[in-house]
Structure 1
């Protein structure tokens, strides 16, 4: 689902004005040691490789939202292991003129089942990438993966 219904309803009221939204990033890992892999998707809108990301629905628990996004976008079942990072992203403007700013909550997830494929049309590819050979991705997305890979159970907070 590209844009949640509640966002579309808000857009009818506020037009393209800046919306403050809560997003999640699910860094899904499988395997151990040198064999460890991360689930990555190639976004249909930009072509960028990322972990699975999405918007939390009103009243939805953040970890539940992240698990839902993983299932919807890649047809993979995963369970949250820990909070990895919380950050505020810079305001952004979408091609249609809509403006948004997100607080992003990053979780480390453990794979349970499923082989990834682009399940909902938001992505053109969904694959397991070896940590030693990740596809090109933005520094921000790499920092989300790095936060999830840390052995320290404490979350990273941007200051």
Structure 2
């Protein structure tokens, strides 16, 4: 899915200056596996991620992104981690400061495929072999697997 219209409208006002945005990560679990996709922009293997639309419930955003990106229906079970992501600067100079909300989600239905072009491949990966996933995304997955059930919050320095 392309950049959301509300972000484009804000960019007209602020240019490339840092734009604070809320993002979601949907860590989708099924039978001891996690749904991952290879991003079309940078080739990274990640869970489903996306931007929360204005007025949208973040858990609904996680479910919406799973349907849009991988054509799977999921249930958002719980919030597992709230943390800021270091500033992202895109190739066009746009800067964004994301607050990521990571959710543990359960697969409900659908066979995954790269539905909207944000990912080039999508599939189920064993939880005990995430060597192709970077450290930040492994931390998001780990937060969703933590059985204590409490959300983690980034602590100030």
Which range, TM-score by smaller chain? over 0.9
Contact 1:49 1:135 (8 Å CA) reproduced: no
Question: Which of 27, 37, 42 is the aligned partner of 1:41?
Answer: 37
* Cα distance in structure 2, aligned partners of 1:53 and 1:135: 19
- Unaligned 5+ runs, structure 2: none
Q: Is the 8 A contact 2:69 2:119 kept in 1?
A: yes
Mapping 1:107-122, distance limit 5 Å: 107-122=103-118
The ranges of structure 1 where at least 4 consecutive aligned residues each deviate by more than 4 angstroms after the TM superposition are none
1:70: which partner in 2? 66
- Number of residue pairs matched by the alignment: 155
1:4 aligns with 2:4: yes
Structure 1: runs of 5 or more not aligned: none
Q: Is the 8 A contact 1:80 1:109 kept in 2?
A: yes
Any idea what SS the aligned residue of 1:132 has? coil
1:96 to 80, 92, 113: 92
**Are 2:130 and 2:138, in contact at CA under 8 Å, matched by a contact in 1?**
no
- How many angstroms apart in 1 are the aligned matches of 2:74 and 2:96? 28
Does the alignment pair 1:17 with 2:13? Answer: no
CA distance in 2, matches of 1:87, 1:158: 5
Q: Supply the distance in 1 between the matched residues of 2:116 and 2:15 (Cα, whole angstroms).
A: 26
- Aligned Cα root-mean-square deviation (Å): 0.8
- Alpha carbons 1:129, 1:135 under 8 Å: kept: no
TM-score, length-normalised on structure 2? 0.97
Question: Which TM-score applies when normalising by structure 1?
Answer: 0.95
Distance between the aligned counterparts of 2:12 and 2:154, measured in 1? 33
Distance in 2 between the 1:67 and 1:46 partners?
A: 23
Distance in 2 of aligned mates of 1:133 and 1:142: 10
